[in-house]
Amino acid sequence: MVSDLRSSIERAAPRRKKWPWGAGIVAVLLIAVSGFALTRGGGPGAQAAGDGKPVHGGTLQFALIDYQRSPDPQWGTNYAESLIGNNITDKLTWQDPDTGEITPWLAKSWEYNKDLTEFTFHLRTDVTFSDGTPFDSAVVKANFDQYVHGDQKLGILPNGATLLPGYIETRTPDKHTAIIRFKKPLASFLQASSFTANAQPGFLSLSTLKLSAEQRTDPKKVIGTGPFVYQSWKAQVSTVLVKRKGYNWSPPALKHQGEAYLNKIVFSTIPEASVRTGSLGSGAIDATLDVGTTDEKSLADQGFEIIHRAVSGTSIFFNFNSRLFPTNDIAVRKAIQLGWNREALKKTVLTGSYSVATSVLGPSVSGYADYSGSVLTYDPKKAEQLLEKAGWKRGPDGIRVKDGKKLVVKLLGINNLVVNKPAYESIQQDLKKIGIDLQLTVVPIPDYSANVAKAKTDWNITAANRSRNDPAVLNLQYSPLLGNGSYLGEDSTGVDVDEVTKTLGRLELTLDPVERKQYAKAAQDLLLDKYALVNPVYNPSQVIAQAKYVHGIIFDAQSRNHFVNAWKGNGK
Amino acid sequence: MLRYLALKVGRALFVVWAAFTLTFVLLFVLPANPVDLLFDPAELNTVTSEVREQAAESYGFNKPVLLQYLGRLGHALTGDFGNSVQSGRSVTATILDVLPSTFVLASGALLLALLIAFAIALIATSTRRAWVRNLVEALPSGAVSVPVFLSGILMLQVFSFQLGWFPAFGDRGAKSLVLPVITLAIPVSGPIAQLLVRSFATEFRSGYVTTSWAKGATRGVIVVRDVFRNASLPALTIAGITFGNLIAGSVITETVFARQGIGRMTQAAINTLDVPLVQGVVVLAAASFAVINLIVDLIYPLLDPRLRATLTVGSPRAA
Amino acid sequence: MTVEPDTLAAPALSGSARPGSGRASLRRLGELAQQPVLVASWITVLVVIGWAVAPRLFTSYSPYNGDSAASFAPPSAEHWFGTDRLGRDLFARTVYGAHTTLTATLLAVLIAFGIGTVVGLIAGFSGGIVDIAVMRLVDVFLAIPSLLLAMVVVSVLGYSTQNIALAVGISSIASFARVMRAEVLTVVNQDYVKAAYGLGGGRPAVLLRHVVPNSLNSVIALAALEVGTAVLAVASLGFLGYGAPPPQPEWGLLVAEGRDYVATHPWPSIMPGLLLALVVVATHRISTSYRKEHRR
């Protein structure tokens, strides 16, 4: 490899004389890099895979883009926070990622009343925290109380207030029974009890709950029941977990007995895509999350394994503001749904790990229905007809005009996923052809948040997604009483707001699978077809590239990872 | 001399206070509410007003702005900048944690940048070949014309991923410092070198050099003895300015090389409107800046006989 | 042994150093022909200005509409710089991007250079309380990391290349002011300036004839660098997630956004990056020769 560099320098040498030095240096590097891209391959990823029997021990070097801002798992809004939280804490239930079914975990069994306002969980009796204290109903109560209400004195925010709306209390009739009560029916609570994404209800020891937010930044004091415990936490750089001795209560559905296989996991934050990919190639890390779409193929060619799961919940959506001109016109909303080429998006932006959205719900959420044959299809002719009929005529610059006002649609989006910007640009290209000027503002998360606060009056479209593997996510996201994603109100022309509220609200009223499916279909019909309040774009995915000797990394129902079952073929 | 010193120290304190105040004002001009940034953006509309109020109250964001300012200023005087809104950790501890790592990176880069700059200036001034001078003089602009992140990423591709000479990320001893230091030093050296080349040339033409020349000194001796000493003055000035460049450059360098550091922390803090943390960092930056300039100010008169002369007369010109 | 005349020239006592007669212009043209690097620099800059004014003359491709079949095509006779992810011709995007980039750069330099120089001149030349007040203000701006200032300005004004340029310009005012003042102080203390006073020159006359021209050298050097700095600052802010709204092409942003693909498809960031470097170096070369002309 050294000789490669030398020859590339030699090749570059004659040019250096003509070019100024700075450019010359870049040229040398450029040629070295392209030489590098060609000669690599057959890297460490191509090593033998092992014989399939789990090997105990070893350290997994795992890279990802985000970092934990605090080791406290109940507070967190990014992937690193939820992913690491999942491995140091356990939840009451485990949702099967394939079927969506809720299965036992820390709760052996449960029942609920007919109104869906009271949920009774029967807890396992053998579970302990890593400091030796037992896990029991008092712990559940203390956790839920603080999770929902926060603690002003300790500086703990009400992290769970949005997940558990209307929480009244937890009753503890005995040591191993916990009854959780709500003001209103909350069918989605059962799924919430397994929730593994942002601000998750993972159980912390009573001693941890007494700590202030500041004290919880000492990772050694953050105590859970999970298969791993904290060894260290360095903000923005790394979190190190070691295996919990004596752990024996992973979700029965995983069929994993006893402790985790790995001794240690090092989560390294590497913000740059090319550095994550390169580090995997050079063997500095064993696996990485947040694989750039364009790197997937080259990593696979080098012998690395690509594993992925679509994030369950909503797709990446364009939520239309139903009050603001021009998206208050249903013809415009429908034209946008029909006006962009899904094939082109698939070909240029998405990889096999992603898919074009066929509903506002992801395909893995129960109640999902496919709209690719009806409203979510590319039909520019029909889109133009709709616009013509509604009075939108082509202006001199090709952009349509009505009553002297241009068809300019302002979109606010987040640039946290590599796919977002090119995907939106692809749609922008297509919409321009039918006379819609889609203006993109795609910014980092904090700026997005700051702007969402003004979305009602400033933005025609907000583009994001929400991960929650339950059809009630539609109620949370779009109900005028809750998230109100399309800003429905009295001045939303042509929309029966009550109808939307009621139709979506029904998703919280039953846990009967057949009924729920009907309600979910009705909700999707309203959102996608009847009122066209949302244009789903693509289904986001979590993609991991790993060396061949890495096995058993689990994607859960929210596509967060669990490492209890992970092992390395070389045991190192 | 004592009066001069007191003047300088007072000036340094003023800078720190003004920076603190200006940052506070700037952060409140921003069209964003720090409370919004505490929640998952997708859930933002679902967050109830009670929850918002509770969050605002626990950080004191609901108090009148003036009270918030005075409160923070009062605490800051005792060295307490409060707790980071994002992590809940004390600002002082958070900063002290990452400071050494940035300090090592920045001072290494500054040292290397000065070496490069002096080398360029010396070669450019002392060479007799026009083409060598032209080439060398083009280096500073070449150095600043490549984005730091691109040069960092390209160096990583070659020296970490292909050759495997240096680790690609994290902080593992001296070896992992090499690439970040070079990456950061290149753009920082540009302005310094440019200034040095310019002032070396100016000094070369000035009267006393001509005199030395007439006295029969060789070119090399002239460069070292006269030009070097006198032209170092503006270089010191720019070293102070470079401080800001170092901080900005370290944001990117630390991001590319996934290092812990003040730069990256500051960026995250600004992004998330973590007011206490941003203020802590700004005060730190302003204080370091003031101290560097204090030192430069004190060395200035020692190096320049002309300024030393005016100083002894007591003119405030050197302030 | 031949020594370049300019390196040994005595300080410009007269101050009347401006060439400009017809004969001098002719001589310059002759000299220019002897300096291939300078000629190449001029050509580079003129071509890029041409791109900014009339991009259509230089490329037949659209910078906005891609060919989804040609995603990430490498540089070739058809696509000189290759294509990006959406199959857009990168050369076309670079050519069209020249307008945004040059306008932004010009804006940043004008703000920083214009305001900074005047402030520094006033401070250095008037001295006393004015100097103290102005320089304390400058200190404060220098003490706050420019990145913070830039991010705040962009957040307040909105995401556009012009606003980023504005931010970069504002955050550079202080350094220009400071360098200018230091130069003015040095020049004012030079013997020939004192001599000019002695010969009966009034303050404004001395200021205009001696102080300004002789102080500007360092500042012009800084301005040449600022051209590069401004474009790079736009790129850096793009790297940190702040950038012009898509699909508008802009050089810094092209480099910043292309970096994610650098391991597999290096051209989307390297081709505009090389061009950027070339233009900055060329600008610098021109400014150096300009300065030397005016020294003589």
Of A217, A278, A477, the CB nearest to B168: A278
CB contact under 8 A, A282 and B54: no
Asked if A237 and B170 come within 8 Å (Cβ–Cβ), the reply is yes
- In what order do the strands lie in the sheet containing A228-234? A228-234, A238-243, A264-269, A59-64, A287-288, A541-546, A305-310
Q: Which residues of A touch C86 (CB under 8 A)?
A: 348-349, 422, 425-426, 429
CB pair distance less than 8 Å for C260 and A418:
yes
Residue A30, chain C, CB below 8 Å: the answer is yes
Please state, in angstroms and rounded to a whole number, the distance separating the CA atoms of residues A335 and B292. Answer: 61
**Of B30, B42, B55, which is closest to A157 when you measure between CB atoms?**
B55
Question: CB B248 to CB C147 under 8 A?
Answer: yes
Q: Which helix (H) or strand (E) holds A123?
A: strand A118-123
Shortest Cα–Cα distance, B210 to chain A (Å): 33
Query: How much of chain B is in helix, strand and coil states, percent to nearest 5?
Result: 80, 0, 20
Is B258's CB within 8 Å of A270's CB? yes
**Is A374 an 8 Å CB contact of chain C?**
no
Q: What's the whole-model pTM score?
A: 0.83
B-chain CB neighbours of C261 within 8 Å are: none
Per-residue pLDDT of chain A (572 residues; tens, 9 = 90+): 333 333 333 333 333 333 344 444 544 454 444 444 444 433 443 344 445 789 999 999 999 988 898 999 998 778 899 999 999 999 999 999 999 999 999 999 999 999 999 999 999 999 999 999 999 999 999 999 999 999 988 988 888 888 898 999 999 999 999 999 999 999 999 999 999 988 899 999 999 999 998 999 999 999 999 999 999 998 888 999 999 999 999 999 999 999 999 999 999 998 888 889 989 988 899 999 989 888 888 899 999 999 999 999 999 999 999 999 999 999 999 999 999 999 999 988 898 899 999 999 999 999 999 999 899 999 999 999 999 999 999 999 999 999 999 999 999 998 878 789 889 999 999 999 999 999 998 887 777 888 888 888 899 999 999 889 999 999 999 999 888 899 998 888 889 999 999 999 999 999 999 999 999 999 999 999 999 999 999 999 999 999 999 999 999 999 999 999 999 998 88
**Which residues, numbered 441 to 500 in chain A, qualify as contacts with chain C under a Cβ-Cβ cut-off of 8 Å?**
441-444, 447, 450
B106 in contact with A at a CB cutoff of 8 Å? no
Q: Tell me, yes or no, if B49 comes closer than 8 A to chain A by beta carbon.
A: no
Distance from CA of B219 to the nearest CA of A (A): 26
Instruction: Please report the pLDDT score of residue A36 as a whole number.
Output: 44
Residue of C nearest to B234 (CA): C182
Under an 8 A CB cutoff, do B141 and C281 touch?
A: yes
Are B42 and A466 spatial neighbours (Cβ–Cβ below 8 Å)? yes
Query: Best residue in B22, B125, B137, B144 to probe C by mutation, most C CBs within 10 Å?
Result: B144
Q: List the structure tokens of C296.
A: 């003589």
The two tokens of residue C106 are 């010009």
Asked whether B139 and A21 are in contact (CB, 8 A), the reply is yes
Q: Report d(CA C131, CA C140) in Å as an integer.
A: 14
Write out residues 120-149 of B within 8 Å (CB-CB) of C. Answer: 128, 130, 134, 137-138, 140-142, 144-149
- The contact set of C with A (CB < 8 A) is 64-66, 68-69, 71-72, 85-87, 155, 159, 240-242, 245-247, 257, 259-266, 270, 273-274, 277-278, 280-281, 285
Q: Do B204 and C143 touch (CB under 8 A)?
A: no
Is B138 in Cβ contact with C273 (below 8 Å)? no
Residue type at A125 in one-letter notation: T
Contact B194 C191 (CB under 8 A): no
Q: Which residues of B touch A280 (CB under 8 A)?
A: none
Q: How many residues does chain A have?
A: 572
- Using CB atoms, which chains have 3+ pairs under 8 A with C? A, B
**Per-residue model confidence (pLDDT) at position A17:** 34
Coil, strand, or helix at residue C121? helix
C269–B150 CB contact, under 8 Å = yes
Flag whether residue C248 sits within 8 Å of chain B, measured between CB atoms.
Answer: no
Give the mutation candidate from A2, A16, A18, A29 for the B interface (greatest B CB count, under 10 A): A29
**How many degrees, rounded to 5, is the angle at CA C54 between CA C51 and CA C56?**
95
- Give pLDDT tens digits along chain B (319 positions): 678 788 888 888 888 888 888 888 877 767 677 777 777 777 777 777 777 888 788 777 778 888 888 888 888 888 888 888 878 888 888 899 888 888 899 889 988 988 898 888 888 887 777 778 777 877 877 777 778 888 888 888 888 888 888 888 877 778 888 999 999 998 888 878 877 777 777 766 665 555 666 666 666 666 565 666 665 556 556 665 677 678 778 888 888 888 888 888 888 887 777 878 888 888 888 888 788 777 777 776 666 555 544 444 433 333 3
Whether the bond into C247 is cis, omega within 30 of 0: yes
User: Between A and C, how many residue pairs show a Cβ–Cβ distance under 8 A?
Assistant: 100
Q: Looking at beta carbons, which residues of chain B come within 8 Å of C288?
A: 137
Instruction: State yes or no: cis peptide before A363, omega within 30 of 0.
Output: no
CA torsion sign for C285, C287, C293, C296 is negative
- Strand pairing report for A400-402 and A405-406: antiparallel
Chain A, chain B: beta-carbon pairs less than 8 Å apart: 208
B neighbours by CB contacts (3+ pairs under 8 Å):
A, C
| Candidate from C11, C131, C240 with C-beta closest to B205 | C11
For A413, half-sphere exposure in the C-beta direction (CA atoms, 13 angstrom radius) is 26
As a whole-number percent, the residues of chain C with pLDDT over 90 amount to 1
Determine the Cα angle at A500 with ends A496 and A506, to 5°. Answer: 145
Antiparallel, parallel or unpaired: β A59-64 and A287-288: parallel
Predicted ipTM > 0.95: no
Helix (H) or strand (E) holding C227: helix C212-239
CA distance B245 to chain C (A): 8
Q: Comparing C-alpha atoms, which of C7, A19, A12, C281 is closest to residue B137?
A: C281
**pLDDT at residue number A243:** 96
Q: Which of residues 290-319 of A touch B (CB under 8 A)?
A: none
Handedness of CA C71, C77, C79, C81 (dihedral sign): positive
Name residues whose C-beta falls within 8 Å of residue A435's C-beta, 6 or more positions apart in sequence: A384, A387, A392, A394, A395, A398, A399, A400, A407
What digits encode the pLDDT tens for the residues C124-155? 888 788 888 888 888 888 777 777 777 777 77
Mean pLDDT, range C208-237, rounded to an integer: 73
Residue C257 and residue A22: Cβ atoms within 8 Å? no
Alpha-carbon gap, residue A439 to A510, rounded angstroms: 41
Both tokens assigned to B208: 């006393």
pLDDT on residue C182: 80
- Residues A284 and A46: beta-carbon distance below 8 Å: no
pLDDT digits over C236-268, tens only? 777 777 766 767 788 878 888 888 888 788 888
Residue-level pLDDT at A6: 35
Answer whether residue C72 shows pLDDT above 80. yes
- Secondary structure, 3-state, A351-372: CCCCEECCCCECCCCCCCCCCC
Single out the residue of A539, A203, A124, A137 nearest to residue A355, CA to CA. A539
pLDDT, tens digit (0-9, with 9 covering 90-100), for A41-70: 334 433 444 457 899 999 999 999 888 989
DSSP A41: -
Comparing A334-348, C46-60, C97-111, C240-254, the range with the smallest average pLDDT is C240-254
Contact A36 B258 (CB under 8 A): no
Three-state SS annotation for A384-434: HHHHHHCCCEECCCCCEEECCEECEEEEEEECCCCCHHHHHHHHHHHHHHC
Rounded to whole angstroms, the Cα distance separating A375 from C197 reads: 84
From the list C153, C287, C179, C176, the residue with the least C-alpha distance to C233 is C153
Q: What are phi and psi of A497, to 5 degrees?
A: -65, -40
Both structure tokens of A293: 């779409």
Q: How is C94-108 classified by DSSP, letter by letter?
A: HHHHHHHHHHHHHHH
Q: How far off is chain C from A6, nearest CA to CA, in Å?
A: 20
Q: Cβ–Cβ of A429/C65 closer than 8 Å?
A: yes
CB contact under 8 A, B191 and C225: yes
For A481, which residue in chain B has the nearest alpha carbon? B46
- Interchain contact B151–C (C-beta under 8 A): no
- In chain B, the domains with their CATH numbers are 1-86+273-319 (no CATH), 100-271 (1.10.3720.10)
Residues C4-32 pLDDT 10s? 333 333 333 333 334 444 566 666 666 66
Is any Cβ of chain B less than 8 angstroms from the Cβ of A158?
Answer: yes
The whole-angstrom separation of Cα A110 and Cα A437 is 53
pLDDT at A35: 44
Structure tokens that stand for A376 in this block:
């979510």
